[in-house]
Amino acid sequence: MTEKKVIDTVCMPHTVDSLVTDFRELGVKNGMTLLVHSSLSSLGWVCGGAEAVIKALMKVVGEDGTIVMPAQSASNSDPAGWMNPPVPESWWPIIRDQMPAYCKATTPTRGMGAIVEQFRHFPGVKRSDHPVYSFAAWGKDKEVILENQPLESGFGEQSPLAKIYELDGEILMIGVGHDSNTSLHYAENARCKNQPVTKSAAISENGQRVWKTFQEIDYDSDCFETIGYHFEQSESFRMMKIGNATCKLIGQRAMVNFGRDWFEKR
């Protein structure tokens, strides 16, 4: 959608102040631990773009709160498993040999959206060490949430998702569906942790770039929209429109527990 078309779809532009009002009306509060999944374009025209959304969120949760966003870099993985799009098999050895090592400061996110990509550059934001499934965080509990993310359990026990669960955090979905709901990978991990597959990524070890192979579960989000649909039919959560975006505020523990039960029954 062109910028002109976006302008034509809204009556007034979003601003930091208007977004603060909207997020508070949705139920976001000072001191919350907030895991954010977002689509900037879904909101309509925002004065200041991604920066304005981030500043509004920071203002609402305050210094006693914490904002977390998935900052995944799926391109730093074995090209043999790439599907969107796949690359020729003849390229695989080149990619394994030449992919830059994961760097918290410079490795870009992939498929996470403009808000996340802006957020990871913000003052005071830190990023976890996982070369594929990193998270970025700002606020009171960022150190606790990001520390010691296991290479073999990026979305499992001791991961940022597990820390958010322990802190009884909330999921904020801005114009995205449950296929983006990373917390369901934490529910999935409990079911599949004894079924590892081989994965690999470029990392730095002792100052040297290496292609690191490790064992982890084969994450699959194909059923997440179905789980999310059934969750919304039976569990309480908050939802409202902010501009053109359907936004939802969901207790992460409730979401994870529901997902675990769904996986267990199937």
Average pLDDT over residues 196-215: 95
**pLDDT score of 8 more than 70:** no
Residue 10 has what pLDDT?
58
Judge contact between 186 and 165, C-beta under 8 A: yes
Question: Quick check: helix, strand or coil at residue 90?
Answer: helix
The residue-averaged pLDDT of 215-238 equals 95
Instruction: Write down how long the chain is.
Output: 266
pTM: 0.93
* Residue 49: other Cβ atoms inside 10 A: 15
Domain coordinates in residue numbering, the chain: 3-265
Q: What is the mean pLDDT of residues 188-198?
A: 79
Query: In the predicted model, is pLDDT for residue 123 greater than 90?
Result: yes
Residue 124 pLDDT: 97
Q: Are 250 and 170 in contact (CB under 8 A)?
A: yes
Where in 71-207 does DSSP place strands (E)? 126-127, 135-139, 170-174, 196-205
Q: What is the pLDDT of residue 100?
A: 97
pLDDT single digits (tens) 22-72? 999 999 999 999 999 999 999 999 999 999 999 999 999 999 999 999 999
CA distances from 190 to 187, 195, 217 (A): 6, 10, 10
Report residue 11's pLDDT band, with 50, 70 and 90 as the boundaries. Answer: low
The string of pLDDT tens digits covering residues 173-185 is 999 999 999 999 9
What span, in angstroms and rounded, lies between the C-alpha atoms of 187 and 192? 9
How far lies 104's CA from each of 110, 129, 134, in Å? 14, 7, 8
Mean per-residue pLDDT for 249-258?
98
Q: How confident is the model at residue 266 (pLDDT cuts 50, 70, 90)?
A: confident
Q: What is the pLDDT of residues 100-115, one digit of tens each?
A: 999 999 999 999 999 9
pLDDT reported for residue 196: 86
For 58-95, the pLDDT digits (tens) are 999 999 999 999 999 999 999 999 988 999 999 999 99
Question: Considering the chain, what is the average pLDDT of its residues?
Answer: 94
Give, as one character, the DSSP assignment of residue 102: P
pLDDT band at 9 (very low <50, low <70, confident <90, very high): low
The residue type of 242 is I
